[in-house]
Amino acid sequence: MFQNRATSLKALTLAFALGLGSLVPLLGVSPAQAQARALPDFTDLVEQVGPSVVNIRTLEKVNPRAQQGSPGDEEMLEFFKRFGIPIPNVPRQAPRQNRPQPQEEEQPRGVGSGFILSSDGLIMTNAHVIDGADELLVTLTDKREFKAKVIGADKRSDVAVVKIEATGLPAVKIGDVNRLKVGEWVMAIGSPFGLENTVTAGIVSAKQRDTGDFLPFIQTDVAINPGNSGGPLINMRGEVVGINSQIYSRSGGFMGISFSIPMDEAVRVSDQLRASGRVSRGRIGVQIEQVSKEVAESLGLGKPIGALVRGVETGAPAEKAGVEAGDIITKFDGKLIEKSSDLPRLVGGTKPGSKSTVTVFRRGAYKDFIITVAEIEPEKVASKGGSGEDKKKSSTASQVFGLTVSDLTDAQRKELKVKAGVRVDAAVDSAARAGLQEGDVILSVGTSEIASAKEFDTLLAKQDKSKPITVLYRRGDWTQYAVIRPSK
């Protein structure tokens, strides 16, 4: 025994003297195995998947300001501004009536990434990459450029499908997200800050990460920056397992945490977009929150699972089926609700019109209800230009507080049983952090009631942009306050 140990020690000493490479055969590990356990080599993956990744540039049409003076006047004004000289009050000449109106110009709007789904030109990307664009330009790795048309976009999942007129393109292979493991190496290819075909790599940090209502994200430490959005997350088998979508950042740049949309979810969305141009999701009409440990213990549930029903919408499928406020929904169609965010995903993935079984925990006993799932209100696709019925752009003040609103229709007022208020069309940045979301109805700002979108914008314009505002808003049958702190 001691002799064997002494022999091993001599072998180790000799191996270190000769270099670590000599240690491999002495430990019974083949060079191939040692290389497999070393850091991965991504060169083959880049050659394999790289040609399937595209750069997407978005353009928007803008009306240039009519020139109010000669080029010399503009240069003089710039001179005054640069050196802090007060601008003289010189009356400008009125524009000539016969002068032709300036033509709309296309200006760059943003840069994103995407990847080829099929050889005939279907491309997947993020919905936020193409949102509001008047024209899309797709550039392949061989420098060919195509104009693309939008097949469909879904803001709730942030998935979009566009099409270019081309054939024989190298399509990606779709991977099985269920086989993806935490700690596994993954790679991203995209156009961060417009730098095309940039490759970054890292590991899967977590799965099923809750950052949205309908999608459990893949979290990685792969470097993702503005412009990477819409690009593929690739496993070591060269398969796409996610779409790079979000980052967690306090600076706007990469800070070690990035999120990708799982490909199984993205494919389900893309299939609907390709079939009908939109995504149909189910709803049952309940407001829910997480079940706390204290509530679970006090009700005899045992452990904090399920979704606690805070309210049930009048006339909604849940009310018709018999679900009540205070119930804890523990299963939907036989699938366990581990946390409250599981419920909207399961319901949202159910075909509207189908019947589903909902299991609730009520006063110490479990009850089953059959619910006919309704359809969630379709998203209103924002259009550029067009008729006078298009939504007007939000004011600067509204943008500071992260809100875009529109007037309520008579039918909406009657349905909600309110006399006034405005509907939230978009809640981002400050408003989103305060808890507001699309579909909420703002009833008042501070102590002032709101009757129209114009009145709302006027009121916000008078607010101190450095101070928070308090809004009273309605969501379903619930009315509550939110404090919105302005973006800086």
Residues of each annotated binding site for substrate: 128, 158, 227-229
As a whole number of angstroms, the distance between CA 36 and CA 288 comes to 48
Which of 113, 154, 157, 158 is catalytic? The answer is 158
- The per-type count for the chain, helices as H runs and strands as E runs, is 14, 27
Spell 198-222 as b/e; 16+ CB within 10 A means b.
bbbbbebbebebeebebbbbbbbbb
CB 197 within 8 A of CB 50: yes
Please give the backbone phi and psi of residue 300, each rounded to the nearest 5 degrees, phi first.
Answer: 85, 20
For 408, the token pair is 């309520």
Q: Which long-range contacts (CB under 8 A, 24 or more apart) does 232-235 make?
A: 232/49, 232/52, 232/53, 232/115, 232/172, 232/188, 232/189, 233/186, 233/187, 233/188, 233/260, 234/45, 234/49, 234/186, 234/187, 234/188, 234/189, 235/175, 235/180, 235/184, 235/185, 235/186
Of 246, 219, 217, 218, residue with least CA distance to 230: 246
158 is annotated as an active-site residue: yes
Question: Which residues face 247 on adjacent strands?
Answer: 258
DSSP at 91: P
| Cα 308 versus chain centre, distance | 26
Which of 157, 191, 229, 340 is catalytic? The answer is 229
DSSP at 462: T
Specify binding-site residues. Answer: 128, 158, 227-229
Which of 118, 128, 280, 477 is catalytic? The answer is 128
229 is annotated as an active-site residue: yes
Burial status of residue 38 (CB atoms within 10 A of its CB: 0-12, 13-18, 19 or more): exposed
Question: Which residues face 479 on adjacent strands?
Answer: 474
Catalytic residue set = 128, 158, 229
